[in-house]
Structure 1
C-alpha cells in the first residue's frame, strides 16, 4: 500500500440475497436491468469497454477493468474530479448469494463524493433487490 492509498476512503455495502449469483450477475451487467436500478447506460461487460451512466443530476464515466462472469465485476467510476473503482463480488451462499460492492479511491478532500456514495449505494442496492424480485 502506498501513502496515497492510505489517504483514500472506501464505501462498502454487503447484502445477502435470496437469488443465485447468475441472476444477480444479469442485473449487474445487462443495460436495461442496470437502468432499472441504477442509471441509464451503455454498459457492456467487456474488459477495456468505456461506458457512461446518466441521470437527471449528471453523468459518470467508467471503464470495465475486470470481468469474472457470475463472480466479480470491476470498473472505474468518475468524472473530472473523482477517480474511483467500483468492485462487485458475488459469493454463493446456501440461500442465494452474498453481494459485496466496494467503491475505493475517495480522497479525504472529497467529502461530497464520499457522502454521496455512502448515502446512494444502499438506495441503489434497495432498487436492485426490487429488480431481482421481478426477474425470472
Structure 2
C-alpha cells in the first residue's frame, strides 16, 4: 500500500495505491455494483451507472429507512475508471492492468486537512476488506482502524504541526489536531476534573446558567514556557481559556477547545495569542505546544486501543 496527501486547488487529495492479484475485469464489479460495495464501502450505495447518474449513500442496518446523502457519477468507464461525488467530496477509483493483476488507485478529495489521518486509516481498513473479498474471504464488519494506525498517518502527513500567524495586534499560534478519544476522556487526562463549572465570560464572571471560573488552570493545560494566569472561560469538558503572564501581568490568552471530530474522537483546537513586539515568543509557543500535545495524543491512542 502506498499513500500520499497533497494539496491541489486549496483542497486535500488523499491517494492510496494497492496492488491486487486480480485483473481489472474481476475487480470492477466489486467497486461499482451496490451488492458488492456494501461489503467493504462505509455506506450503503445506490447508483445509476452512467456519467451524470444519481448516487445515494445511507448508513444503518435498514438502509431504506436511514438518512440519505447524495452524489453523482462523474466518470464511468468499465473496467478502468469510476469517479463520483459524495456531497462536497470527490472520489476516484482507477484500475490499471499490472501483469496478471491490477493496480488500484483510490483518490479522495476533501477540505478538512486535520481529518486526513482519520480518512486514510479508515480507507486502509476498507481496501484491506475489499482485497480479502476478492480472495474469497468473508468481510469482518467489526474491524475498525486502530488509534496507533491513525497516529502513524498524523506523523506521515505532517498533521501534528501548528502554525504561527501575525495578527493586527500581535501574533497567534494555532494547532488543530484530531484525537482518538472523546472530549470527556481528553478532559480527564488533562486534569480537567479539577476545573469544572459552566461557561464564563471574558472577564471571568458567570455567563447565564454557568458558574464563574476561578483560579488557575490544571497543569495539564499549561506549559512551563508561559506562566498561567487566571482562568477566563470554562465550559467542561470542551473549553478552557486562561491568561498567560509575562513579568507578572497578563500578556495574552491560551484557549483549549474540544469540538466534534471525524469519528475517532474529539478535535482539539489550541490557540495562543501574544502582543506585538514579542514575535520570538510565537516560535517558542509553537515548539512548546507541539511538545505538550504529542505525548497527550500518544496516551489517548494507547487508551483507545485498549477499549473493547
1:36 alignment partner in structure 2: 39
- Higher RCO structure (Cα 8 Å, ≥6 apart): 1
1:14 alignment partner in structure 2: 17
The 8 Å contact of residues 35 and 41 in structure 1, kept in 2 or not, is answered as yes
**Number of equivalenced pairs:** 125
Deviation (angstroms), 1:10? 0.9
Deviation (angstroms), 1:59? 5.1
Larger Rg: 2
Is there any run of 5+ residues in structure 1 with no aligned partner, and where?
Answer: none
| Of 118, 128, 131, the match for 2:130 | 128
In structure 2, C-alpha distance between the alignment counterparts of 1:35 and 1:62, rounded to whole Å: 16
2:57 alignment partner in structure 1: 53
TM-score of the superposed pair, with normalisation by structure 1: 0.80
1:76 alignment partner in structure 2: 85
Is there any run of 5+ residues in structure 2 with no aligned partner, and where?
Answer: 1-6, 61-65, 138-308
2:188 alignment partner in structure 1: none
More strand by share: 1
Residue 70 of structure 2 corresponds to residue 66 of structure 1: no
2:121 alignment partner in structure 1: 119
Deviation (angstroms), 1:6? 3.1
* Cα distance change, pair 13–60 in 1 and its aligned pair in 2 (3 A): farther
